[in-house]
Amino acid sequence: MNALVSLDQMMVPDHLDGSCGRNRASSRSQLAAVDDRSAVLAWLARYADSPATLASYRKEAERLMLWCVLQRGAALSDLTHEDLLLYQRFLGDPQPVERWVMAPGQKPGRNSSRWRPFAGPLGPSSLRQALSILNAMFSWLVEAGYLAGNPLALSRRKRRQVVPRVSRFLPTEHWDVVKAAIEAMPVSSERERLHASRCRWLFSLLYIGGLRVSEICGASMGGFFSRRGTDGRERWWLEITGKGSKTRLVPATGELMAELMRYRKAHALNALPSEGEDTPLLMTLIAPIKPMARSAIHEVVKGVMHAAAAALRGRGPSFEAAATHLEQASTHWIRHTAGSHLSEKVDLKVVRDNLGHANISTTSIYLHTEDDARHDATAAGHRVGWRTP
């Protein structure tokens, strides 16, 4: 195998496929896999119901297998502790660059000849994450009876620097700057108007709903529905399928419903979605209308954060640290921000259930009543507070 291709397309030479690897277990394997690539794919198949985890794990397994074949000239099941030390150094400086690293500004698809497994050298945090994932993979292959031992198990455990939780969410003053950046977006052209409307709706979903990006990508507007509570009041909800294909109900507060209607009006849709409507929860700007991809959502969020950071820098040098913090923010930070802000105002059970950290039952009358109370607590204590023209 001379060409650099993704794991899906990889054709490994017989002498490097691991069928006779030195680290293969002598006992009976619980896997049908007889070569390294098949064994790795069996490990990855366990995460088919969690797209974000699957993508992250596949990336690390793919990088290692490509390095084994193209750089080290060894099968995955031949790797020793010393090999993994070399690989660790490689992650921090993938050479040669033209073979391993994507060209600046390019994001070709995984099937493109211009695709590369790295955007650049891994920093300390990304390096720890990569080795942690590979350690989990090797441990599972040992447990499955495919490998005799885990070559990463001998690695020295460095004490991890504890990163304060505050570093991954936005304090109120930073969140206000983000909102202001969205409200100040240009709306001169039709595309600008639709983009500004989409940004406001996206951040409403991330903050009011506390949704994961994968949940936004996979949901449609038909998930909104109205239900009469035990107190006789009508409340709107959004049914979401989250991690592990678990379903939960997110309170669609009055503010979230107003933002939904505002977003739909921008696209000349009826104010409220119909039952079973398949319109994506977050739409592309051009026809045919499709759900936005995860990568595109991340790019939109990064664009907003950079605009907010630029606005802060305009206030003077004393705001540089805050601007840098905003530039580091990712889509998931908004979910953390929502949970952090909400936990200051309502019971933690409300936060847990809203963010999907536990299963929710809607069949029990007792829990149904709790759902209504959760809706009221969320609506009363948790708002974006857009300045609607």
Q: Are residues 88 and 202 in the same domain?
A: no
User: What pLDDT, on the 0 to 100 scale, is given for residue 162?
Assistant: 41
**Which residue's structure tokens are 């607590």?**
377
Q: Is the residue at 209 inside a domain?
A: yes
Q: Is the residue at 247 inside a domain?
A: yes
d(CA 31, CA 380): 53
β-bridge partners, 227: 235
d(CA 354, CA 97): 44
Other C-beta atoms lying within 10 Å of the C-beta of residue 346: 19
Angle made by CA atoms 116, 54, 149, in degrees to the nearest 5: 90
d(CA 29, CA 146): 5
Q: Is the residue at 1 inside a domain?
A: no
Per residue in 120-136, pLDDT (tens digit) is: 899 888 888 899 899 99
Q: Is the residue at 56 inside a domain?
A: yes
Residue pair 88/131 in contact (Cβ under 8 Å)? The answer is: yes
Other C-beta atoms lying within 10 Å of the C-beta of residue 228: 10
Per residue in 262-271, pLDDT (tens digit) is: 999 999 999 9
Q: Are residues 257 and 295 in the same domain?
A: yes
Q: Are residues 279 and 202 in the same domain?
A: yes
Residue pair 319/205 in contact (Cβ under 8 Å)? The answer is: no
β-bridge partners, 147: 24
Q: Annotate 170-196 with three-state secondary structure.
A: CCHHHHHHHHHHHHCCCCCCHHHHHHH
Other C-beta atoms lying within 10 Å of the C-beta of residue 311: 17
User: What pLDDT, on the 0 to 100 scale, is given for residue 144?
Assistant: 93
DSSP run (H or E) holding 252: strand 247-252
Q: Is the residue at 32 inside a domain?
A: yes
Q: Are residues 51 and 87 in the same domain?
A: yes
User: Which region among 69-83, 141-155, 307-321, 369-383 has the lowest average model confidence (pLDDT)?
Assistant: 369-383
Residue 195 one-letter amino acid:
H
Q: Quick one: tokens of 307? A: 């605009």
What's the gap between Cα 241 and its chain centre? 15
Q: Are residues 231 and 305 in the same domain?
A: yes
Q: Are residues 313 and 233 in the same domain?
A: yes
Q: Are residues 72 and 204 in the same domain?
A: no
Q: Are residues 127 and 207 in the same domain?
A: no
What's the gap between Cα 92 and its chain centre? 23
Q: Quick one: tokens of 331? A: 């889509």
Other C-beta atoms lying within 10 Å of the C-beta of residue 114: 10
> DSSP letter string over 322-369?
HHHHHHH--HHHHHHHHHHHHHTTS-HHHHHHHHTSS---SSSHHHHH
Q: Are residues 183 and 320 in the same domain?
A: yes
d(CA 196, CA 190): 10
Torsions phi, psi of 85, nearest 5?
-65, -40
**Which residue's structure tokens are 């038909």?**
222
Of 14, 71, 4, 55, nearest to 37 (Cα)? 14
What is the tally of structural domains in the chain?
2
Q: Are residues 321 and 218 in the same domain?
A: yes
Provide the pLDDT confidence category of residue 196 given band limits of 50, 70 and 90: very high
Domain region containing 290: 168-381
pLDDT at 364 over 50: no
Q: Is the residue at 93 inside a domain?
A: yes
Q: Annotate 70-128 with three-state secondary structure.
A: HHHCCCHHHCCHHHHHHHHHHHHCCCCHHHHECCCCCCCCCCCCCCCCECCCCCHHHHH
User: What pLDDT, on the 0 to 100 scale, is given for residue 6?
Assistant: 65
> In the 8-state DSSP scheme, what is residue 72?
I
Assign residue 284 the CATH number of its domain. Answer: 1.10.443.10
Average pLDDT over residues 70-97: 93
Of 172, 137, 174, nearest to 152 (Cα)? 137
Q: Are residues 211 and 299 in the same domain?
A: yes
> In the 8-state DSSP scheme, what is residue 286?
S
User: What pLDDT, on the 0 to 100 scale, is given for residue 27?
Assistant: 83
Q: Are residues 180 and 124 in the same domain?
A: no
Per residue in 289-307, pLDDT (tens digit) is: 899 999 999 999 999 999 9
Residue pair 294/214 in contact (Cβ under 8 Å)? The answer is: yes
